Amino acid sequence: LYRRMKMNDHPAVRLVQYPGERHGNAKQTGQIDVLYRILDWYNWYVRDLKPLDGAMPPLDISDKYGIKLPE
């Protein structure tokens, strides 16, 4: 799904890879990051009704939400 959307230049898709992880997110830091990314995606494209022709800005949860993830 990601590859097909990316090939069609769909801006609402982003690939995020976490060090030491494979297909899933077993580590707590990755799980937290994914939850905040999903929340931001919904806020950007659903709640605020942004058009799909522009990509949302990158997410830095430490700045936006005041959360410091452990290394």
Q: At 3, list the tokens.
A: 């590859």
Given this model, what pLDDT does residue 37 score?
84
pLDDT tens-digit series, residues 5-60: 778 777 677 778 888 888 878 888 888 888 888 888 888 778 877 766 667 777 66
User: Is residue 3 scored above 60 in pLDDT?
Assistant: yes
Q: Does residue 70 sit within a domain?
A: no
SS (H, E, C) the chain: CHHHHHHCCCCCCCCCCCCCCCCCCCCHHHHHHHHHHHHHHHHHHHHCCCCCCCCCCCCCHHHHCCCCCCC
Q: Does residue 57 sit within a domain?
A: yes
Q: Does residue 69 sit within a domain?
A: no
What residue numbers bound the domain in which 58 lies?
2-64
Given this model, what pLDDT does residue 7 score?
80
| Total number of domains constituting the chain | 1
Q: Does residue 42 sit within a domain?
A: yes
